[in-house]
Amino acid sequence: MADARQQRRPSGLVVALAFAIAVGTAIALVVLAVALRTSDDTTAPTPTPVVDLTGIPQAGLVLGSPEARVTLIEYADLQCPACRVYTESYFPEIVERYVRPGRVKTEFRGLAFIGPDSETALRYVLAASLQNRLWQLQEALYRNQGDENSGWVTEELVRRLAAEIPGLDADRVVTDAGSNEVDALVAQAAAQADAAEVGGTPTLAIQVGDADPFSLQPGIGLSDLTAALDDALGS
Amino acid sequence: MSDRTLRVLAAGVAAAGVGVAGYLTWAHYGSGSVVCPVGGGCETVQESEYAEVAGVPVALLGLGAYVVLLALIVWDAPIARLAAAALSLIGLVFSTYLLVVQASVIEAFCIWCLANDVVIAPALAVVTSLRLRS
């Protein structure tokens, strides 16, 4: 039986044919990639709030009791699909198990790295933080997240969402979004993210008391997240 | 350079490709979060609409291609060498497309993708083509 390695080498014609097929396949693949790029798998709006924040203390960027010793810090970009998944899938349970009972507070640190709509959205939610309604508006924006940098974050959208949030003055949100106060909040979060070497979103970190926060593993699952919070509460 | 050295080199580069594509695939299905040791555009690139083709992550396509390449390099029959060179050429063209997309459409670079597009894919195309001559 002939060893495979001693088979005849393909002729020049066969090699040329193989390379021509390869180039053709590659071009077809590129055309397919452009034509079939995924753009709409996560952009359908979620019609109703995924979590009820009524009655939970809120001050600026922080949701939850100021007395809570453990803080769950969330670095997020409002255009980031994984951040939307975190908010829609994990956040409601975190709120009900830890934040509403006053055991944990959670702090939003917004980033704007995906593009112009990230910064527009960030400015609106930070403006809402000046009325202590950041968490309601960011939840509503995630539910209505559009295609990246498609211009989906409009004043009209924000006004519509703000109108559904009790206690939130939409006119003030629109005005404050361009304020120096919001400029300072944007810069503050960016500096905190740089210091924490945040490489992607969502990035979650836990702070116990005044100790330095420790970042959780990227992509942490809900059960590992709750285990980390339980550890922090027990420490 | 001897054929044996080229073969070991090809296997090493393909294994690096498996590593990079495997990590990006894991990150894609795990969370969408990618550790970005240099730059900071990994998340932007991974979350862009160009990161999937018909719902299949580009990283997964790359992982499949590198696994097949590794198998072809191990097999090492003349037809396997030709198939490896042809597959590497497809990878090189597709990587060039991904590089252009990062530079001109997404306007962000992912260091893991750059490692693949600028180092691994071209190196594999060169090495597997050179092996056709021996």
Put simply, whether B53 touches A (Cβ < 8 Å) is yes
Alpha carbons within 13 angstroms on the beta-carbon side of residue A106 total 25
Chain B residue with the nearest C-alpha to that of A201? B33
Do the domain assignments include residue A105?
yes
Report the alpha-carbon distance of residue A213 to residue A196 in Å, rounded. 9
Substitution target in A7, A9, A86 with the highest count of B β-carbons within 10 Å is: A9
Per the domain annotation, does A106 fall within a domain? yes
Q: Rounded distance, CA B80 to CA A7, Å?
A: 11
pLDDT value at residue A2:
44
Q: What is the CATH number of the domain that holds B105?
A: 1.20.1440.130
Residues A80, A83, A87, A93, Cα dihedral to 10°: 170
| Domain extent for B13 | 3-133
Asked if A105 and A137 sit in the same domain, the reply is yes
Average pLDDT per consecutive 10 residues, chain B (134 residues; last block may be shorter): 90 95 87 65 78 89 95 92 94 94 83 92 90 78
Cβ neighbours of residue A11 under 8 Å, at least 6 residues apart?
A: none
Q: What is the ipTM of this complex?
A: 0.79
At residue A140, the pLDDT reads 97
Number of domains into which chain A is organized: 2
State the Cα–Cα distance between residues A81 and A146, nearest whole angstrom: 10
Contacts of B27 in chain A (CB under 8 A): 218-219
pTM for the model stands at 0.59
Q: CB within 8 A of A55, min separation 6: which ones? A: A100
Please tell me whether residues A164 and A67 are part of one structural domain.
yes
The model's pLDDT over A39-83, given as tens digits with 9 standing for 90+, comes to 544 567 887 888 999 999 999 999 999 999 999 999 999 998 889
A chain contacts of residue B54, beta-carbon cutoff 8 Å: 32, 36, 38
pLDDT digits (tens, 9 = 90+) for A196-218: 988 888 899 999 999 999 999 87
Q: Which domain holds residue A26?
A: 11-40
Residue closest to B1 by CA, chosen among B120, B132, B130 = B130
